[in-house]
Structure 1
Amino acid sequence: MRKARSTDGRPILRFASGLAIRLGNLRAAAGLVALVAAIAVLSAGFGTTRAGMLDLLREIIGADLTDAQSYALWTVRLPRIALGFMTGWAVALSGAMLQSIARNPLADPGLLGVSQGSMTTIMLLLVLVPAAPKALVAGMAVGGGLSVALLLIWLVGGERSSGLALLLMGIAVETVLSSVGAMLLLYTPPEISLSLADWMAGSLFAADWPTVAAFAPLFALSMAGAFLVGARLSVYELGGEMAVSLGESVRWSRPAILILAVVLSASAVTAVGPLIFLGVLAPHIAGFLSPATARARLYLSGLTGGALVIAADAISRGAATGIPLPVGLALTLIGVPLFILTLRLQALRRRG
């Protein structure tokens, strides 16, 4: 490993294998990891029961906590923090992948209809089989998302398609599926309709350790997947024809990347419901913090997405309103103003 400079003059670390990492991206990643840790510490202390990370450390070294404190930390707050970070990571990573292959900064699992495919499938299952086991719900969600992805690939003509065609077709499919979801909300019995509406707002209320354990292998897979597909995505950002001319097997790699993005998105939807706009928010905010491409962009986007979700959950639990706020709504309330601020600062930076 040695320190060098890239073609644009920025300092990088170059490894013997040929891998190069910008120092600015490394600093941004370290800062985001520290931010995630700080938010997690603060989040563990939010709630009606007075307990936090210091109490957790005291229990680890042998001190006794009350039953209420132990329940608040181990059963409620820590699973929410862990699941919130992993699902936020997954959705942000999915959004960053889809933006690269669609060559559009607004592409995300929701806009392309992938999330809506998973949501509609889950809604139909919950209406027809209210007591469906979680494993079946997860499988149906992934199947619904994959069905939409494969339909998009077929409709736009595979490797000959452009990113714009993929985005426009995705919007059309998403509109149809949203109409189906609206019909289910309107015409199902009130108790089922209310349950579906709560779930569609995005929620960490049902987070527990079994769900965290079930999601952990996918989280590990996503980290490895981001490393494997990162370099390919940098080629896709040059355009489909350029990718083919550079030797990229678009016919196989584009569906593979799309399927990975779908699995990540569908799994997050199954675990916590839809996290609206996160797939757009996180990559843009990460890009503002530290411009990056390929693997670095994916990892920074994932860290940003995880930080946003656990921050939204902390705010929803720390608000003094006494009204439980779904994490999806809290994420919109803090994420959209932050997104607007980011875009404004980027515009000012370009003028300067």
Structure 2
Amino acid sequence: MMRLSYSTSGRPQCEIGTLAIPLSALVATAILIICIIVVCGVSLLLGSTYIPVDSLLKNQLTEAQNFAVWDVRLPRLLLGALAGWNLAMTGVMLQAISRNPIAEPGLLGLSQGAMLTILIVLILTPNISLSLLPVAAIVGGGGVAFILIALVGKGTKNGIEILLMGIALDTVLSSLNGVLLLYTPPETSYSVTAWLSGSLFQASKESLLSLLPWLLLSLPAAMLIGRSLNRYELGEDMASALGEPIHITRPLILIVAVTMSSVAVSAVGPITFLGILAPHLIGHFCPLSGRVRLWLSGLMGALLVISADLMTRLLSSDTPVPLGLSLIIIGVPMFMMICRLRAHKATHR
């Protein structure tokens, strides 16, 4: 049974059984879902093949329009939304366990590690099945996470030290990827180059189906580890005092984060900054934590990616605009504005 109540801090919340959800979170969820639906609708209609609204609603499409909607645009939207969801949630997880607000897969080297193994696999077996690329990406991302833990040390609690070590690993792996790209078979070099900049041009029903099981793992994982993230945000010592089994949950959260980010990289390439941008946008407008921050950040990440993809398709001419560049064009001004608003608010307290 659903009923309205108030939390101990006086904020209105909606109670569903034993679950209490802040009312602001429900409002933010509704707004984000409406925005995602609107952007998806516009994306289905616009492009090189124009789709009239009444034709789409009445399912009276020509063969070319039917192909554009169901075989090109819809798989592209779904794949982009799921990848954005995963990358944004990964940013929340890494920021919580590293105690660093700018931690994300790109800065910690996880994305470059996933890219490295994918490039090696493509060089050795150019005709590999798409269903095996996420496995290769997880191996690479997991290897980088293991190296990072070994280099930093188990007792380190300094988020800056972890971030700096991750940036160093990311730089080395980026150089290795650049060298390997020179040896990529000519028939795959163009697609790999586009993928390195972030791209959804290879999205199809087949690629979506091969990645969907991996991407959908994020939902139960978020529900399971959300409470732990809430405690980690209070600090490791406080989390231990509250009974959090850090020696179990920290590796578990890292494994989930590596899996989610690596699979997303195998789908759309290394989209940097999204893991920082989405959680901070949500934190400014709806400052919550735990499971709520996870799912709101995931929705924001999905919205940002499909919006950037729409911008990519509308601006494309003979030379396609990389998805990563479109995301930066959209996201960076928003991020700078939020940072400025925070600074203004802090100086006028």
TM-score band, normalised by shorter chain: over 0.9
In structure 1, the residue matched to 2:264 is: 268
Q: Deviations over 1:60-112 (max 9, x none)?
A: xxxx3211111111111111111111111011011111111111111000111
Q: Deviations over 1:271-311 (max 9, x none)?
A: 11111211111111111221110011000100000000100
Q: CA deviation at 1:39?
A: 0.5
The 5 A counterparts of 1:76-87 are 76-87=72-83
In structure 1, the residue matched to 2:106 is: 110
Secondary structure in 2 matching 1:4: strand
In structure 1, the residue matched to 2:273 is: 277
The 5 A counterparts of 1:307-346 are 307-319=303-315, 321-346=317-342
The 5 A counterparts of 1:233-248 are 233-248=229-244
Contact residue 88 and residue 301 of structure 2 kept, 8 A: yes
Q: Do the aligned partners of residues 126 and 189 (structure 1) sit closer, same or farther apart at CA in structure 2, a change above 3 Å counting?
A: closer
In structure 1, the residue matched to 2:7 is: 6
Contact residue 202 and residue 327 of structure 1 kept, 8 A: yes
Contact residue 80 and residue 204 of structure 1 kept, 8 A: yes
Q: Deviations over 1:206-265 (max 9, x none)?
A: 111122223333343211111111110011112222222221111111011011011111
2: CA distance between counterparts of 1:267 and 1:88?
A: 11
Aligned identity (percent) is 47
Contact residue 122 and residue 184 of structure 2 kept, 8 A: no
In structure 2, the residue matched to 1:161 is: 156
Contact residue 52 and residue 73 of structure 1 kept, 8 A: no
- The one-letter code of the counterpart of 1:207 is A
Query: For structure 1, which segment, 295-304 or 219-228, has the greater mean C-alpha deviation from structure 2 after superposition?
Result: 219-228
Contact residue 138 and residue 259 of structure 2 kept, 8 A: yes
In structure 2, the residue matched to 1:180 is: 176
Q: Do the aligned partners of residues 320 and 80 (structure 1) sit closer, same or farther apart at CA in structure 2, a change above 3 Å counting?
A: closer
- The one-letter code of the counterpart of 1:14 is E
Q: CA deviation at 1:46?
A: 1.6
The 5 A counterparts of 1:88-103 are 88-103=84-99
Q: Do the aligned partners of residues 104 and 315 (structure 1) sit closer, same or farther apart at CA in structure 2, a change above 3 Å counting?
A: same
In structure 2, the residue matched to 1:51 is: 51
Q: CA deviation at 1:320?
A: 6.3
Q: CA deviation at 1:24?
A: 0.8
The 5 A counterparts of 1:114-133 are 114-133=110-129
- The one-letter code of the counterpart of 1:162 is K
- The two structures have a TM-score, normalised by structure 1, of 0.92
Contact residue 215 and residue 264 of structure 2 kept, 8 A: no
- Say how many residue pairs are matched: 346
Secondary structure in 1 matching 2:216: helix
The 5 A counterparts of 1:289-304 are 289-304=285-300
Query: For structure 1, which segment, 331-340 or 314-323, has the greater mean C-alpha deviation from structure 2 after superposition?
Result: 314-323
1:223 is aligned to 2:219: yes
1: CA distance between counterparts of 2:170 and 2:212?
A: 29
In structure 2, the residue matched to 1:30 is: 30
Q: CA deviation at 1:58?
A: 1.1
Query: For structure 1, which segment, 5-14 or 199-208, has the greater mean C-alpha deviation from structure 2 after superposition?
Result: 5-14
What residue ranges of structure 1 are gaps of 5+ in the alignment? none
